Amino acid sequence: MQLRGRSVRDYMKYGYRVLRGALFRRKTDGCGRLLRVCGAVTVSKSRRARLVLGSHVILHRDTGFYLDSEEAVVEIGDHTFLNRRSEVMCKRHVKIGSHCAISWDVTITDTDYHALEGSEKTRPVTIGDHVWIGSRATILKGVTIGAGAVVAAGAVVSKDVPPRALVAGVPARIVRENVSWSL
């Protein structure tokens, strides 16, 4: 049966994801409207650590949030989605903007979990609004990714990315500037 171009099954899946989102809210410290959770999501956090989600966020199955210190804060903006098996590891602060598309198997971390002599172990990560991160990309500590930027699949981002730049490679380098993208 079709309803407005969608099947009953599509509506049931949507409803199930919204229901899972409503139940998942208990694991957050702030959550906007209409969170959708599309399978098991791991949240490992210290008592005072904070996970804050905006409105219309979508978390696909096997996404993981690891807030590994009392002062850890992960913030995700409105209309952002994290795809399958992506992980956010945080000891201080990871901020992901609004309208971001984060593909599968992406790793975002603000810590090395160890330190070389003379270097900081933990530095915040900031991802601007409308950023697309391709599959299997890695975003390392201390990185700021500007609004509208695109991170290619498999890139390892260890330095800041300017707004509307396309970066690729290991380590990631600017391949193109003034890019725009849409879903």
Residues classed as catalytic: 114
CA distance 57 to 165: 24
Task: Please report, to the nearest 10 degrees, the dihedral formed by the alpha carbons of residues 49, 63, 121, 164 taken in order.
Answer: -110
Any idea which residue has 């800041």 for tokens?
160
CA distance 132 to 183: 9
Of 46, 45, 36, give the one whose Cα is nearest residue 64: 45
